[in-house]
Amino acid sequence: MTRTISNQSDKRWGGYIPWFFRDRDYIGVGNFLLFFERASHRIYQLLFHNELGIPNLSHFDSMLESKSHQVYRSIKNGHGVSNIASRIRDYFAPPTIKKEMEILLYNDPEEVKFRELSKTVARIGFQEPAISVLPPGLMPAKNITPAIDTKKMRQEHKQMAAQMNLTAERRRAEYYRLLFVQRLGVLEVLIRMLHRRTSAFDDFIQDLRSFFAEAEIMLDIDADTCLVNLLEERLLQKEIIDTLMPRLASRFPERAKELINAYHDTLSGKDFGDIFIGAFKTLEEIARRITNDSNFEFNEKNLQKYFPKIHKTIHATIVRLGAHRGDRGGHGKASPEPHEMRYLLFSICNIALLLLDYNP
């Protein structure tokens, strides 16, 4: 995972950079649609009943658009408390997220190219094939469109359809991820705007934190700073030392030792790029032992072959996680920052547990 704001000390930010700028490349595991279903309902309740005594909800709605750098758009569908609460709720609600994802997917370059090719194949299916070979000595007339190789085009269409099926879940997951990151950022902005040292505010934050826990999303909210954060080291230590290591050591002691070393290297501040590459290599070695495939790599084909019962969304997450090994060398990106490395290592350990628990 890489950060997208290189100079966070820039004073023009005013001391606060929204989540969708700080962690635009965030890759999370969990049921985000469930989280936003819960959160959207709670936000509506908070605003409709004005639990925090906001003096002017219409102004609050407009300010949310400004403070979120217009990631949230205030679409005027009427006046009054009910309409304001409803449109903010609807922005976070799963049906809106799904609709936006479908629009993004429809405009995906691969989808556009495939639709155009499909139209062409359908059109030539109702036309007489052009003469592709002229008699000897006869030159083609000028401005005549070359003949279409219908057989080749149909084969290309068939191959592209197969490829589209293979990448559909990955592309859908990526567009969902973009929308989730945007809404996490808007939620953080909304929390900061609502910040009050009251029991009602504390109750609201605690509800959101419990929604993260229910949805198994490794995020938390700091009620003091009003920031959405990745989980702290204590949870990473609990998962690695208390949960994963005893089970992993009983089957693959060397691999357990490698992950423990990665954990201690993370705490000591060693090069996080090297730590991640090594930890992910350990994860692949675990998968190779479990599958008895010495050439196993985390790609869509192998995951479908050996772990078909694992949800395709998790398949896509694992593949994206592995792709970060090439970030620094392939794209010139810096090593992960400390909080990012904690998340990456946490993800690797969660995947290791998932593989150990897998029942073919």
Last residue of a domain, one of 187, 211, 230: 230
Residues 80 and 204 in one domain: yes
Confidence of residue 158 (pLDDT cuts 50, 70, 90): confident
Contact between 275 and 341 under an 8 Å Cβ cutoff? The reply is: yes
- Cα 18 to Cα 280: distance, rounded to the nearest angstrom: 29
pLDDT at residue 129, as a whole number = 45
Q: What is the 3-state secondary structure (H, E, C) of 113-151?
A: HHHHHHHHHHHHCCCCCCCCCCCCCCCCCCCCCCCCCHH
Name the percent of the chain lying above pLDDT 90: 36
Examine residue 325 and state whether it is found in any structural domain, yes or no: yes
pLDDT at residue 176, as a whole number = 93
pLDDT at residue 197, as a whole number = 80
Q: Output 189 or 218, whichever has higher pLDDT.
A: 189
What's the mean pLDDT in 153-165? 78
Count of domains in the chain?
A: 2
pLDDT at residue 349, as a whole number = 83
Examine residue 181 and state whether it is found in any structural domain, yes or no: yes
Q: What is the pLDDT of residues 239-260, one digit of tens each?
A: 566 667 788 888 888 888 898 8
What's the mean pLDDT in 26-51? 92
Q: Output 264 or 44, whichever has higher pLDDT.
A: 44
Residues 226 and 238 in one domain: no
351: closest CA among 278, 280, 263, 257? Answer: 280
Tokens of 96: 């809106």
Residues 224 and 259 in one domain: no
pLDDT at residue 76, as a whole number = 56
- Cα 27 to Cα 4: distance, rounded to the nearest angstrom: 13
The pTM score is: 0.60
- Cα 259 to Cα 246: distance, rounded to the nearest angstrom: 12
Last residue of a domain, one of 230, 263, 298: 230
Look up tokens 């954060």; give the residue.
Answer: 229
Structural domain boundaries, residue 271? 233-357
51: closest CA among 81, 71, 6, 25? Answer: 81
Strand partners, 222: 227
Q: Output 235 or 57, whichever has higher pLDDT.
A: 57
Residues 336 and 200 in one domain: no
Residues 187 and 336 in one domain: no
pLDDT at residue 56, as a whole number = 92
Confidence of residue 341 (pLDDT cuts 50, 70, 90): confident
34: closest CA among 165, 189, 210? Answer: 210
Residues 271 and 352 in one domain: yes
Most confident of 31-35, 112-116, 139-143, 269-273: 31-35
Examine residue 19 and state whether it is found in any structural domain, yes or no: yes
Residues 217 and 256 in one domain: no
Residue 135 has pLDDT above 80, yes or no: no
Residues 259 and 338 in one domain: yes
